[in-house]
Structure 1
Amino acid sequence: MKKTYLKNISVILLVASLCFGCNQNNTEKTPVELPPIEVKVEVPEYFQLRPEVEKLFGYSHAVKIGNDIKISGAVSMDADGTPTAAGNFEQQMINCYADLQKILNHYGCTFDDVVVENIFTTNMPKFLEAAAYRNEIYTKQFPAGSWLGVKELAMPEFMIEIELEVFKKE
């Protein structure tokens, strides 16, 4: 039994000396050179489709950060902010997409780059009747998104508002 006990202790000491080695008092470590890390700081880029109107109402029509672009809801209005196509749901929808196209063009994007589309409407049945128009807008795939019936939009004449999120490929 003593012989086995001494043998086990010898094995433990041998393993310990191999693990800790002769340099256990050496606290100096050789520095490892790592490649430099490039940190890209993303700065928001703001875009205004109608600067005077947007300043008056307190918003930017789009903000781009890196590859992501958030586009505020487009409504049917003229350059002065006056609602257009009052009472004509289909024309208001066409006008919204026309404004969104201008913003996408500014960033070098198309509707194929849209990843989220949220539609707000005061008249869901009219939207559902006109929704097929979106097939002309989205020719490759439809984005994720929501269709929301709301009580009212910013002005009583507005029947539809469409906001987008875009991922711009580099």
Structure 2
Amino acid sequence: MKKRTILNKHLLLLFGVTFLLTFSFLSCDQKEKENPKEMEKETIEITKTEVPEKPEYFLLRPELEKTYGYSHAVKIGNDLKISGAVSMDNDGNLLAEGDMRQQMKNVYSDLEKILKHYGYSFDDVVVENVYTTNMAKFIEVSTFRDSIYKKQFPTGTWLEVKGLALPGQLIEIDMEAHKSE
């Protein structure tokens, strides 16, 4: 008889726990159904997908860039990526041979044209990578960048390389810019 009483108590306890768990789950389920705005919001956030923006390409020197096989810039959404700019004229001839400071000025002039085409400025530049065949000369004239970046300097890398596209080129700069809405 004592074993039966213990068994009944265990069954009663098991039944009580099952009842409480069932009631708790139903209660939670009920609360979710009672707040349809939250359910609707979650559904919208889950099903909402952003459509990627179509890339918009820009050629600074169209014939030259077609010959070499690249686009000088591409804008996707609020992000702008600019290929390396070098000191050259519209026919692809080197400008300011042997003059690091003047080549740097020419490079920044081209970069500014591209930025302005899209309504950006150097204040929007977030990455700047400099490739130079002579790091010591570049560092000597790098303070010129103070006149370009008036608010803050972007992130970036300075690399000394063996050569650039044309003999006599001393510097090439590529960059990325971002404009917040």
Q: TM-score, normalising length from structure 2?
A: 0.81
Distance 1:148 1:17 in 2: 66
- TM-aligned CA deviation for residue 69 of structure 1: 0.8
Range with greater deviation from structure 2 (144-153 or 4-13) = 4-13
Of 137, 143, 160, the match for 1:126: 137
Alpha-carbon distance in 2 for matches of 1:19, 1:52: 72
2:150 to 133, 139, 143: 139
Answering whether residue 109 of structure 2 is matched by residue 104 of structure 1, we say no
Report how far residue 99 of structure 1 moved: 0.3
- % identity of equivalent residues: 54
* Structure ranking higher in helix proportion: 2
Deviates more, 1:137-146 or 1:8-17: 8-17
* 5+ residue gaps, structure 2: 27-38
Distance 1:13 1:125, change over 3 A: closer
- Measured in 2, the distance between the counterparts of 1:157 and 1:57 equals 18
What secondary structure, in the 3-state scheme, does the structure 2 residue paired with 1:161 have? strand
Moved over 6 A (4+): none
- Displacement after TM superposition at 1:169 (Å): 2.3
**Backbone CA RMSD of aligned residues:** 2.1
Distance 1:20 1:161 in 2: 65
Q: Report matched runs for 1:3-152 at 5 Å.
A: 4-15=9-20, 18=23, 34-35=43-44, 37=48, 39-152=50-163
Provide closer, same or farther for how the CA distance between residues 57 and 13 of structure 1 changes in structure 2, counting only shifts above 3 A.
closer
1:169 and 2:180 aligned:
yes
Q: TM-score, normalised by structure 1?
A: 0.86
Q: Which residue number in structure 1 is paired with residue 166 of structure 2?
A: 155
Q: Count the aligned residue pairs.
A: 161
Range moving further from structure 2, 40-49 or 92-101? 40-49
Distance 2:167 2:25 in 1: 80
